[in-house]
Amino acid sequence: MATKKNLIANRTTLAHKVRYAARNPARIGPYVRRAARDSWLRLKHPDHVGYYRAVMASDTARNPEAAVGSQTHDRWLALGKMQFEYLVEHGLAPHHTMLDIGCGNLRAGWRFIEHLEPGHYYGIDISPDILISAKQTLARQQLQDKLPHLTLTQDLTLDFLPDAYFDVVHAHSVFSHSPIEIIEECFAHVGRILAPGGFFDFTFDRTEGTEHQVLREDFYYRTRTLVDLAARHGLKARFMEDWERLGHGQSKIRVTA
């Protein structure tokens, strides 16, 4: 569970960086290397989607599971299971149609595909490299007959998807890597594709202090910022307290039309 200390930390301040480095000296070298790489990628790709696509290409080349935030295979399995079980407990049924935004290499997606009826899972991602890994996960789990849709996307306008079609829209660890304009783009369009009674769950890095970002990879938002932003696009958003009890590092909000 997130602690009060990390909910008020501003990771961009020099004082925070010095304290963190003193407590974690082994992480100084990796951080410096990542900062140098990210600076170079931002010069090559000034738009955020292009930049983060390049980040994913670099990370996936090293380890596809680490690229989606899982440092070990056991952790990859555990985080996927957590997402899956949470949505099933909240009513995800086999006959539902689901859109998985930022599906990655199907950490949770393969479980959703297995659970849903054939053709009812749609996964989108900005990274062609991670989608190749997703197809490998699909084959490894022998789920080809479930006929999932895996699609590369450039934005979150969702303009290629039909109206009122998806019972569940899901975005795990997507907005934690997104500037506010990309989140707003999603809010501006997700209501159109939600079926009557459908919902959109997303996780985010929560702060109760100053909103900030680290290396243009990790973005920290106050809950009220995202709830109010959703409301400006005709969406009702609520903080999911029961998700907090699972001990995941990110928080979750549910949006309905």
Share of the chain above pLDDT 70, in %: 98
Residue 218 CA, chain-centre distance (Å), reads: 11
Tokens 């909000």 appear where? 253
Average pLDDT of span 89-104? 98
Q: Look at residue 71 in the predicted model and tell me its pLDDT.
A: 87
Question: 173: which 2 tokens?
Answer: 């660890």
Supply the mean pLDDT for the chain.
Answer: 94
Determine the structural domain holding residue 212 and report its residue range: 4-256
190: domain CATH number is 3.40.50.150
Burial of residue 195, with CB atoms counted within 10 A of its CB: 0-12 exposed, 13-18 middle, 19 or more buried: middle
Residue 241 CA to residue 75 CA, distance in Å, equals 23
Q: Look at residue 5 in the predicted model and tell me its pLDDT.
A: 44
How many residues are there in the chain?
257
Q: What is the pLDDT of residues 173-199, one digit of tens each?
A: 999 999 999 999 999 999 999 999 999
Instruction: Check pLDDT > 70 for residue 154.
Output: yes
Q: Look at residue 1 in the predicted model and tell me its pLDDT.
A: 40
Q: pTM higher than 0.85 for the full model?
A: yes
How many structural domains compose the chain?
Answer: 1
Question: 211: which 2 tokens?
Answer: 């909103």
